[in-house]
A and B are shown apart, each in its own frame.
Chain A
Amino acid sequence: MCTHRPSVFLSKRTILFLLFHTCKMTFPLLKLPFLAIKNVLQNLDAPDKFDFSTCSRKCRRLVKCTRHPYTGIDVIVGSGRSYSSVILRTGDRTCYDWYCRGQEYSRMRVRKDRRTVGDMTIVFRKKPDKMETGGLMADKLKVLYKYISDLFNIPILTYEYGNTLNVKLLPMALGIKKCEQMIITAVRDYTLDIPHLRYVIDNVEVSKKLYIGYYPHYSDFRMESARFSMDILHLNTAAFITRNVFLNMDCSVIEMNEASLSSEDILDFINQWFNSKNIRFEKLHIASDNLKTQLDLNGFNPKLWNSRVRGQYYDERKQMNFSSGLDIIRSDGLLATVKQSAEAIEFVL
């Protein structure tokens, strides 16, 4: 078999011409003084800074050294298997979205769309408002959010998990340890010993709000030693919360449904507040089947709710009506109202 390789000869003139035009076309930004590089980078938007940072390690370091307006990222895992997003934020404004679709794009396999992100090469299609990639995987999402968070030196503001079967996108799999808000709508986690839920409660530091909607009910699972200290705690399936954990909570707002706590536990909580100087606490709402016993508030010198002291409703949504509640006053003058019904106890300041 004859193997001929066509050889290409470029004349000296052609080479000089190509070199001349290459020099004319390129702008060796990295050879500029740092001040100039920084000034150029500050004029770029987030996706362009991101792309520039993936060019080389030096580029990444330069972006890291540049001031930027971003305040944090949101990690959103959508419902079903459809998508996940890493959203860059400046305050309430969305700056950019790195979007992972569940399905693979066949047309995206173009060399120019490949970016080296952390320890992975990811194919992205760049759009003005978002950068899309196909094939949603935990590894990819993990690499992506860590890279963006590190690049702009910003925290995770919100982690949001929709109703999906993919437990590999829960905080434990992604290695999330800290965020301001964690909203887990529904999880179909049937893993033995529910490690994902334990991880969220034991290992993730949530500062503002933790909401866990539906989580499969395990009769033998009890959380014995966790401490909740976020501003707002909302657990829709709170059977695993024990008396000790409940009394140790240091939150402004606590809402728990399907709790296994008794009226006595809640009376102890009220007693603890009454004898403390805690000014953080605002509201407790507990719904449970074990609240049949009437709370004995006599020790707090209660008075019937008085519309002149406090309005009829707690907030604009009018979900909490004080009309049959009891008012108690702490030694520092703070007024609290307790209301008990067949299914729930409310204790608000």
Chain B
Amino acid sequence: MSCEEPTTSPTPENNITVVSSDGKEFLLDLKLTEQSETLARLISNFEYDRTDVKKDPVPLGNITSAQMQKIIEWLQHHRYYPKWEQNDIHYSTSFTFETWVEEYLNIPNNEMFELLNAANYLNIPRLFSTICRIMASRITGKSAEQIRTVLNIKTDVKNDVYTGIPIQEDSSSSEDGMSEISLSPSPPPI
């Protein structure tokens, strides 16, 4: 889905200033902040949408300037999109994304992780949900060991969860030819 973006010049009346954790200030149009439930609630509580109220800069201690830049880019792109409505995603998995979104999220995993945390903090549901789907698409089709590598998970399965009995090897896989492979009770941690 794409929307035309009419250009509007921000005026002091219709924007607020947010300050990132590294002290950089960003001027945000109030229209953009509607996409962030955290900011929208803050603006509503402090009545920053009124022209006669003095607007103090809003400190965002959990978000760096790089992340804020990235988030503003997202908010700008989705400025004229209809309000996000959560579909029943539990029962349908779709890994098709807009080209713009694919390019926007074509970033290393560590940056993606930080961006997801920022989206969660600012409560931007469309961005949050999109990153979650992107992450799911990166896990899909991988084996358990590959998932462990991608997600940096160290296994803790040594004994059966319920019985406490040490895990057995599948006897069908412990025949000749397996000797070169380490057959520890549980796959070794990465």
Which residues of A line the B interface, CB within 8 A? Answer: 23-33, 35-36, 39-45, 48, 51-52, 54-60, 67-69, 90, 104, 106, 108-109, 111-116, 118-123, 126, 128, 133-135, 137, 140
Q: Are A27 and B150 in contact (CB under 8 A)?
A: yes
The reply to whether B186 and A116 form a contact with Cβ atoms under 8 Å apart is yes
Name the 10 nearest CB pairs between A and B, nearest first.
A135-B172, A43-B136, A119-B160, A26-B152, A39-B132, A27-B109, A123-B173, A69-B91, A24-B108, A51-B144
List 29 A-B pairs, Cβ < 8 Å: A25-B108, A26-B110, A26-B151, A26-B152, A33-B120, A40-B132, A40-B135, A42-B132, A43-B132, A45-B93, A51-B147, A67-B90, A69-B91, A111-B145, A113-B143, A116-B157, A116-B187, A118-B160, A119-B168, A120-B169, A120-B170, A121-B168, A121-B170, A121-B187, A122-B170, A126-B143, A135-B173, A137-B171, A140-B172
C-alpha spacing A45/B112, complex, angstroms: 21
Write out the residue numbers on chain B whose beta carbons fall within 8 Å of the beta carbon of A43: 89, 93, 132-133, 135-137
Binds A, one of B47-55, B63-71, B177-185: B177-185
Q: Is the interface of A mostly helix, strand, loop or mixed?
A: mixed
**Distance of B179 from chain A, by nearest CB (Å):** 10
A44→B136 contact, CB < 8 A: yes
Write out the residue numbers on chain A whose beta carbons fall within 8 Å of the beta carbon of B187: 111, 114, 116, 121
Bound-state CA distance A32–B182 (Å) is 32
Tell me the bound Cα distance from A67 to B88 in angstroms: 11
In the complex, B148 has a CB within 8 A of chain A: yes
List residues of chain B with CB within 8 A of the CB of A35. Answer: 120
Q: In the complex, given contacts A55-B151, A135-B172, what are 16 additional A-B residue pairs having Cβ atoms less than 8 angstroms apart?
A: A23-B110, A24-B108, A24-B109, A36-B117, A36-B120, A42-B132, A52-B144, A54-B144, A54-B157, A68-B90, A109-B173, A115-B144, A116-B144, A116-B155, A116-B186, A119-B160
* Cβ contacts under 8 Å, B168 to chain A: 119-121
Known: A42-B90, A55-B155, A120-B168. A48 touches B141 (CB 8 A): yes
Q: Is the Cβ of A44 less than 8 Å from the Cβ of B144?
A: no
In the complex, which of the residues A32, A108, A126 contacts B173, with contact meaning CB atoms closer than 8 Å? A108
B residues in contact (CB < 8 Å) with A? 89-91, 93, 108-110, 112-113, 116-117, 120, 128-129, 132-133, 135-157, 159-163, 165-173, 175, 177-178, 181-183, 185-187
Are A111 and B181 closer than 8 Å at their CB atoms? yes
Q: Considering the chains assembled together, what is the distance between the CA atoms of A113 and B151 in angstroms?
A: 17
